[in-house]
Structure 1
Amino acid sequence: MRRRVPSLIASRPTWRTVRLLAWASVVANVVIVVTGGAVRLTASGLGCPTWPKCGEESYVTHGELGIHGAIEFGNRLLTFVLAAVAIATLVAAVRARPRRSGPVRIAMALFLGIPLQAVIGGITVLTKLNPWVVMLHFLLSMVLVGLATLLVQRTGEGDGPARLVVHPMLHRLGLAILGLTAVVLYLGTVVTGSGPHAGDLDAKRTGLDPDRMSQLHADGVFLMVGLTLAMVFALAAVNAPAQARRAAVVLLGVELAQGVVGFVQFFTGLPEVLVALHMLGAGVTVVAAVRLVLALRVRAAELPEPRRPAVAAVPASAAVP
C-alpha cells in the first residue's frame, strides 16, 4: 500500500501566497532601512568595529562593545530575517503553479540582492563608514524595495503582453517621475553624507557644502512634485482608469508629506526622530512611484495558442496520380 504524503508537504503554494510574501519583502526592506538609520542616528555605525565578525574574537556583540555594539549587531541580525523572507518568497514562486518565469526572475533578483547588500554593509564597516559606500548601501535597499513592489504587482496579474491604459505620453511622464524619484533619492543621500549623523563621531564626510546640497535636493523635490501634480490633472482630464488616477494621487500625497518632513527637519536642526521618519518616507515614496508606473498598464492572462484546423487524411484511393 502506497504511503500517503502529508497534505501540508504535498500542497503547493498559490500565487496569492507569493503575493503576500512579496508584500512581506516590501515591508522588511523598508524596515531594515529605518533600523539602519537608527544605527547611524545613534552613532552606532562602528558598534561592531569589524566584519563579518562583530569584534576581533566573536561574531556576536559582548559587554565591552556597550549599547552601540548591541544596536549594530541587532541590525545585522535583521539581515537574516530579510534573507529568510527572500528565500521563502523565491521558494514559493518556484513551487507555485502554473509556472510563471517572470515573477520567479524577480524573486531571484530579490534573493540575490540580500547577500550583495550584506557585502556592501561589510565594506561600509571596513571603510569606517565611508559616506559614498553608505550611500550605495541605502540606494541598493531602495532598488530592492522597488523590485519587491514590482513582484507584488506581477503576482496579481496575468502574463500576457503589457497594454497601456493611457496615452503613451502619459506613460513616459510616469517613467520620468520614477527616474526623477531615483535622482532625488541619490541627492538625499549626498545631503546626508555631507551633514551630521555620520554614524560615528570620527566618520568622514563628503566635504560638500550641506546647505548647497540641500538646496539641490529641494529643487529636485519641487520638480518631482510638479510633474506628479501634472500627472494627476492629466489623468483626470482624460478620465483615465481609476487605478491610474488613484496611484497618482497617492504618490502626490506621499511626496507632499515627505517634503514637509524634509523641510521641518532642515529648519529644526535635523532631529533624529524626523530624520528616521524621512527615511521611512523614502521607502514609501519608492513604493508609490513604482506602483504609479505599473498602474498605467495592464497585463491580461496569457492567451492560449490558437488551434490549427485539423487536416483530414486523404484516402489512398483518392490520391491524385
Structure 2
Amino acid sequence: MRNFQFLLILLLPCFWACEQVQEAALLDLSSNVVTGGVTESPSTPSAEIVFQSTDQGQTWQDISSGLPADLSPTSFLVADGELFLTTAKGIYRNSSAATKANWKKEMSLMEPFSNISTGSGNRIAFNREGRFYQKLQGTGVWMPIFTNFENPLVRSVHTTESGIIFIGCDNGLFKSSDQGKSWKHVMENGWVFKMVESDGVLLCTNESGILRSTDGGENWDLVLSEGGVGITVETIKGGFAAITCCENMESRRVRTSMDGGLTWQAIDADLPPSLSISSIQEVGDYFYCGHPNGIYRSDDRGQTWELLQPTIGEKVFELSVSGEVLYAILRDKGC
C-alpha cells in the first residue's frame, strides 16, 4: 500500500500537466482513434502560401499566418466549413469562416498522411502506402477505415453524392458501394488523380487524358486525349472544365464541355502557352486560371484573359473555390 501511495504522489504532477495542454493532439493507441489538432508556433513567421480573394480576384489576402515557413503544399481543399492544406509534412486545417488565419496541424496525421479525399461525406486522410483515416464530422476525431484495402500506391479518394467510394491507384480505379467493406477493380488502364460528378456523369483524370462514366463508375470511356495526361477536371455551370497536356504543342490545354463531357471546346487561345498551367475555376460570370505567369480571369467564357495577380518567384498558383470566395496556394510547378 505504501508503495502504491508513493507512486501515486509521483504521478500526480504528470496528470496535472497533461490537463493544462488543452490543444494537444491525442492518440488512443488501444483503439487506433486519433483526435485533435494544435496550432503550430513556428520560429519564423510564414507568408505567401495560401491566399484568399472575396472580390472576384481583384485583391488577394495572404492567409498563411501561423503556417511553418518551409512548407511545400501539395493540394488544397475547401469542405465542411474548413480549409485543408496538404503538405509533405502533414495536413493543416483552418475554418473557412475565420476572420483571421488560425491554422491547426492534425498532429496525429503527420507524415506520411499528406493527402485528403474529395467529394461528399466525411474527410478521409490517406497516404501512398494505402492507410486511411476518416474524420468524424464536427469533431477532431480520426478513425482508421478501409483496413481491408490491399492495393498500395494510392493517389486519390473520392466519395460521390450517393455514397460510392472510389480509390485511384497506380494500377487503376477501385470502387466500393458498401462503405468500403468490399472493393471492385473497375478500371485497369492507369492511375486516377482527380474525380468530379455532375448530373449523373463522372469524370476523372487519367494518364491518357479525361475519362467519363455514366453508370456509377462501372465503365469508363476516354473523351478527351491530346497525347498527354489529364491534369485536372472541375464542374462549372452547365458542364465541365478540364486541363490536359498536349504532346504535339508541348503545352497544357484548357477546355470546357457543355454536353456532359462528350465534346470539348478550347478556351485558352488568349492564354500564353505553358506546360505548367495548374487549374481552372469558375466564380459567378468569370473563369479563373492558375498559370505560371499568375492568376488570369476571363469575363467572356475564355475568349480573352486578363492577368490579375502576377506569380511569386518560380512557383504557380493553384486555385480552389468555395461559393464566391477564391483560394490560391503557391506551389511548385508540375502535376
| Larger relative contact order (CA 8 Å, sep ≥ 6) | 1
- Taking structure 2 as the reference length, the TM-score comes to 0.24
Bigger radius of gyration = 1
The structure whose residues are more often helix, as a share, is 1
- Taking structure 1 as the reference length, the TM-score comes to 0.24
